[in-house]
Chains A and B, each alone.
Chain A
Amino acid sequence: MSDERHADELYLTEESLTRLVDELLTAGTEVIAPAVTGSCASPAAIASAACLRPGAAPELIEYAALHDASQMALGRGLPNLSLKGFFLPQEEALVSWRRRGTGLELRGPRVDAPSRIALGVKPCDAAALEIVDKVMNWDTKDELWNGRREATTVFTLACPVEDESCFCAAVGGTPDGTRGADGLFTPVEGGYMVQATTDKGRAFIDSHLAAHAGEPAQSDSLRRQAAGFRSAARERIAGHLAIDGPAIRDWVAANFDDPLLTSLGIRCNGCGACTSVCPTCHCFDIVDEPDGVSCGTRRRCWDTCQTGRFTSHASGHNPREDQNVRFRQRINHKFAIYPLRFGEILCTGCGRCTRVCHAGQDLVEILSEIDDAARRGRPAVTADSDGGGEG
């Protein structure tokens, strides 16, 4: 990334950011940002990299709709859950019904969300939004997703690379990315350098942020500091996982029954934690919740391909009966099916699935193995020929 792109960066001090956020909140604008929402004593905190940082306070970070600016915890680690819940909520109403005699009245949810701003978003979480846009719009349009996407201005915060589980660069991302976002914050001494990358981002800067920005005498040095932060992060991630995405795509698609792909679930307990924390997993269930006798709400809820119920037919037949093939589906969907259908890897390398897994499933390790097989052009091995044949 050329640093000319960052030539019109503005400087925003921590205090100015706090004032800006308070001003937005006072005006009734929803502001979403990483915030400390609890302590790491909670079992749910396993994924929080902040908990593991030497000397760090044992805090649990989540993206949250702020009540006041003091809650903001920018750059204090990877939020436990990704940002996806603000676009595809864990559960939401699709339609409510009320019976009147033999008739029925239906009421749908509002699709025009009020405008809001997300700050301090991890580049991997913002990129996921643009990737999931594809499935939400490839034929029919999901109005609920699109309404929230249109209403939200997203600024990423350049990431220092949290830990060894991060691999955004392996799947086309970068720790200072703005994909799926409207602009970028880069941490510098005393605050942030801020830049818009879309019209939506520029409009936000012009109407809200610019008034709080300063033009300090040392702006050149701050710009250099920001550029240094970004290039150091890029250098750091370059030392992590490196894979050949197209080779993996083609190999997985062509070697469906390879023992490597049919034994992936041995360690997996099928709990679905990986799909919950994943910024790109978007599969959902639709369930009816009666609210008394005559009314109720139909909701969609996050679902997971890692449970047997996901595909089981009412007849009892289940096309994916064991955990190995369910885990293969997860890999297949992310690294072959979605790339073939939508031209995108359904993974942004956030590493949450690896961090959260209590059984030790490690996507970094799995991808390395598949990449190895794909690069070597390893042919499909059948049970008969495995270890037996010549050469």
Chain B
Amino acid sequence: MTIYQPDLVTVVDVIDETPDTRSLRLEFQDEATREAFGFHSGQFGEYSVFGAGEATFCIASPPTRPGAIECCFKLVGKVTTALREVDIGDTIGFRGPYGNWFPVDEWRGKDVVFVAGGIGLAPVRCVIWNILDRRDEFGDLTIVYGARTVQDLVYKRELQEWQARDDVTTVVTVDPGGETPEWEGRVGFVPTVLAEVAPSAANAVAVICGPPVMIKFSFPVLEKLGFADDAVYTTLEMRMKCGVGKCGRCNIGSVYVCKDGPVFTAAQLKKLPAEY
């Protein structure tokens, strides 16, 4: 068996997050693999539908809840189209976990601010649950999440669950024009809402993931709030194939995103050529 041979996983749940975004819950078929499998928040995998190919997504479920893993994907290409066709009980492939991770253990005792947009909540959600499952180890938690429209918000039930908790501040927003008459949350772009929420940067780190434009305009907001570049973490999305630093595809500057990333600090990103 080579490093390119996936493990077989069974689809145990299919959850429609939005009209074009779906979550799959996957269980390793091999018992020993199921028992042994471990990963860190932020790591990714190669998910395959045999006949269509492999696609790269982060593991969206937290390592604190072993037994199954989850991924969240948007219908955009060949493999995600095929992934839309799979149903509960079907077999697909998984290779991973690959890449580096958010240094959650180093954040003990600190406040954590999560900033996410659209499907960018998936990798952040993994960290959120990881930290909520170890709530006592961390300081104040703030989540600022937004999507283009109410319909485009992912993990809707979990957003409600987080909003109902008093040990985390959860602010959900939709872009202007994306609200419905029933919408009770904020209306405004994520960077604007982040500036309004204004979480303290003292003894805090920020985790940010979303569309490039959201990240671009959120970095200055975080900087203004006092977050140092090495206290701001994000995860890069690149076209990948092998996931193990061989195929050369995710190479930016001196970095192989699949090995040195996908998690980078804003300080590290600023040193990279803008080829992502």
Point out residues on A near B: beta carbons under 8 Å. 94-95, 97, 99, 102-104, 106, 108-109, 111, 135-136, 138-144, 253, 256, 282-288, 290, 296, 298, 300, 303, 305, 310-315, 317, 319-320, 325, 329, 332-333, 336-337, 340-341
Contact = CB atoms under 8 A, between A and B. Distances in A.
Contacts of B91: 102-104
A109 B50 contact: no
Interface string B65-108: 00000000000111010000000011101000000000000000
B89 A283 contact: no
Contact of A108 (B2, B76, B93, B259): B2
Interface in B6-59: 6, 8, 48, 50-55
A300 B247 CA distance: 9
Given A95-B5, A106-B5, A296-B51, A138 B251 contact: no
B244 interface: yes
A109 B52 contact: no
Contacts of A109: 2
Interface in B233-276: 237-239, 241-242, 244-249, 251-254, 256, 259, 273, 275-276
Interface residues of B, number: 43
B4 interface: yes
Nearest to B242: A286
A319 B275 contact: yes
Nearest to B272: A256
Contact of A141 (B3, B76, B248, B276): B3
A166 to B, nearest CB: 25
A337 B251 CA distance: 9
Contacts of A139: 244-245, 259
B275 A94 contact: no
Nearest to A282: B248
A95 B4 contact: yes
Main secondary structure of the interface of A (DSSP, over half): mixed
Given A286-B241, A313-B238, A314-B77, 9 more contacts: A95-B6, A106-B8, A109-B2, A140-B3, A298-B53, A303-B241, A303-B248, A333-B251, A341-B254
Contacts of B276: 319
A387 B78 CA distance: 48
Contact of B252 (A97, A313, A319): A319
5 contacts: A103-B91, A106-B8, A298-B48, A303-B249, A311-B249
Contacts of B53: 286-288, 298
A158 to B, nearest CB: 32
Nearest to B7: A106
The 7 closest A-B pairs by CB, nearest first: A314-B77, A283-B248, A94-B4, A314-B76, A97-B50, A290-B51, A140-B244
Nearest to A281: B248
Interface string B184-223: 0000000000000000000000000000100000000000
B54 A142 contact: no
From B2, B54, B249, name the one whose CB has the most chain A CB atoms within 10 angstroms.
Answer: B2
Contact of A94 (B2, B80, B251): B2
